[in-house]
Each structure stands twice: as structure tokens, then as C-alpha cells.
Amino acid sequence: MKAVIIPGDGIGPGIVASAVRAIEAVDAGIELVEAEMGAGAFQRTGSYLPEKTIELLKDVPAALLGAITSPISYNPSYRSPLLHLRRTFDLYANIRPIRRLHPSIGLVDLDVIIVRENTEGMYTGVEREEGEGVVTERRVTRRACERLVDRAIDICQEQGRRRITCVHKSNVLRRSDGLFREIFYERTKGTGLEADDLLVDAAAAALVSQPENLDVIVTLNLYGDILSDEAAALTGGLGFAPSANLGDTLGLFEPTHGSAPDIAGMDLANPTAAILSAAMMLRHLNMSDKAKRLERAVMETIAQGFRTRDAGGKLGTMEFTEKYLEVLGTV
């Protein structure tokens, strides 16, 4: 079996190197093929997403990405390579499991999976000048909602999660979010899951005040973006938050954080989100036991008190990785 590895920019290459060592340490038996994407790729090849990378991705069920840096200054011809990938491979569901790994990290005992729509909603990229201002197109379609909710139901069933909550704003966006909510109840009916719904503002509060009531959240693009950053912050920050972008053929796994240019090249990044993203990739490739081992070792490493600086510790990326690999050898 083959998978593509895209180190990317900034802290990406360092944390991906840690994740690759973790994958190799559990003898996953995957041939890992390296590919380019991002600002470094642009400097070397003239493209943020070289055609060769797209071709490689067409051949594999999964890819692990570090992070990429977007240009800071406005460039009308720039097309986000991540959005391009999401569209090319129709990666319609963004999955973000967010769990507090230890009582000494983060603020709230959360253990939720956020399933976020990844192809439409507020992220259509269609904006036009009108009169004195700008109008942004926001799209919610039946097909996108159905497949998203179905994917979220699959995740509940695969992972033994009992409760699913639809997060929306249908008191204001009656037709678009109303459609999403309606489809949510149509699809969850008869699944045996406990299905309920929350307005997005109430969901933002519930993450803090009633975390025990949340299990799997299924939501539209912008709400998912905001709630998952909130949830990550409540459980220890971006260094611990993995994610997956799933389509019907390809799964793209990446830490939720960006390329953190402020600490790039300084051996300071926390590789945990990248390692947990690698675990999600192994689960996607039907290697649940190996995925669980990677996750157990993360919990155990943290429980033994090893921490990078973002989590209040002193270890650099490489030292933390060495400790992690030692622990991995024992679980």
C-alpha cells in the first residue's frame, strides 16, 4: 500500500518527520512517497500545487500533509492549494477529533468529533462588488448535506459514539440552514443514534459549559472552522489537534494548525497533532490497532510528563519525538 507524504512549509517538515518515524515504528508496511506543495514548492517549481503532486495523489488512498504557508500580501492570481486539493478530490468532510489528553493540559474535559462540511457554505470563494459593498455567495445544497450527515453517522457507528448534534443557525438562515437541519433529522432517523441540534452560538457556549453533552457534532463549513479552533484551544491548543479531509477516494490528513512561521526551523513545534493525524490515516487504511497504538503512546508520553514548549514544557520537537518513540516501544 502507498501513501503520499507532503512535508510542506514552516514547521511542516519537522513535524511530518516525527509522524513518519511513528508510522515506521509500528511497521505499518506502507510505502511513503514524498511530494511537494506550498510556498517552497512555488519557489522551486513555480506552482503551489505541482501537477506531479496531483498525479501522485490520484494513485493513493491517503496522504499526510504538514502545513503550508500562504502568501501574506494579496495576490489576485493566488489560488489556495489546499482549496484546490479539496475541490479536485472532492474532499467533502473535514473530521476533527478534539480530546483533552491530560488534566494538566487545556481547560475543559472535552472529547468531541467535529464533522465539518468542506466544499461549500461560506467558502464558495464567490464575491462580487455591488453598490457600495461586497456580496458573498453562500451555498448549502441537499447533496452536500446528505453526504456529510451520512459520513458523520458512519463515524458514530465505527467509533461507538451514541450522540450526534447538528449545529446550525436556522433561526436566521431559515432556508439554507433550515434545509441542513431538516436533512440531518431525515438521515439520522432510524439509525439508533441520539440526534439533537443546537444553534451555533449555543454550541460555542456548550463546548465550555456542558462538554459532557457533546459527542459528535456535524456542521457547516464556517461554524466548523470556528468551533474546532475553540475546542482545540480548550483542550491544549493547536499542537494537539489532528484532522482529516475525506472524499470518496482520497483521505488527506493534516494537523489543524498552520505552518507557524514564527517558530519554523527552531525545533520548537509540537509534533503531537501530526502524529495523531498519522494515526487517523492508519485507521482510514484499516489499521485500527496500529492507530490505537500511536494514540495510546501519545497519552502515555503526556502522562509521563513530557511536554513541548507550547504545552508548558521544555522539550524541542526532536527530543519530544525521541521520548515518544521510546514510549511507543512499550505500549
So which residues are the catalytic ones?
123, 169, 201, 225, 229
Q: Establish if 270 lies at the interface with ligand ATP (CB under 6 A).
A: yes
- Euclidean distance between CA atoms 168 and 176, whole angstroms: 10
- The reply on whether position 204 binds ligand ATP by CB under 6 A is no
**Cβ proximity to ligand ATP, 32 vs 263, nearer residue:** 263
Q: At closest approach, how far in Å is the CB of 10 from ligand ATP? A: 6
Q: Which stretch binds ligand ATP (CB under 6 A): 51-59, 171-179, 217-225, 260-268?
A: 260-268
Which stretch, 25-33, 93-101, 175-183, 259-267, contacts ligand ATP (CB under 6 A)? 259-267
Among 259, 277, 301, 321, binds ligand ATP (CB under 6 A): 259
| 277 contributes a contact to ligand ATP by CB under 6 A | no
| Contact by Cβ (8 Å): 284, 61 | yes
Please say which residue, 11 or 22, places its beta carbon nearer to ligand ATP: 11
CA atoms within 13 A on the CB side of 310: 23
Position 258 contacts ligand ATP (CB under 6 A): yes
Q: Assign residue 328 a region: left if phi > 0, alpha if psi is -120 to 50, beta otherwise?
A: alpha
Q: Could you tell me where the DSSP H helices lie in 59-141?
A: 81-88
| Member of 27, 31, 129, 262 binding ligand ATP (CB under 6 A) | 262
Query: Of 120, 197, 230, 310, which lies in the binding site for ligand ATP, with binding defined by CB under 6 A?
Result: 310
Instruction: Identify residue 148 by its one-letter amino acid code.
Output: L
C-alpha cell, 136? 458573498
Q: Which residues contact 285 (CB under 8 A, 6 or more apart)?
A: 1, 3, 28, 30, 61, 62
Which residue's CB atom is positioned nearest to ligand ATP?
A: 258
Site membership for ligand ATP, residue 176 (CB under 6 A): no
Contact between 254 and ligand ATP per CB under 6 A: no
210-232 burial code (b ≥16 CB/10 A, e <16): ebeebbbbbbbbbbbbebbbbbb
Residue of 7, 14, 106, 239 that binds ligand ATP (CB under 6 A):
239
Dist CA 80 CA 78 (whole Å)? 6
- CA atoms of 118 and 223, how far apart (whole Å): 11
DSSP 239: G
Kindly state the greatest CA–CA separation across the chain. 65
C-beta closer to ligand ATP: residue 276 or 327: 276
The residue ranges that bind ligand ATP (CB under 6 A) are 10-11, 67, 69-70, 238-239, 257-263, 269-270, 273, 310
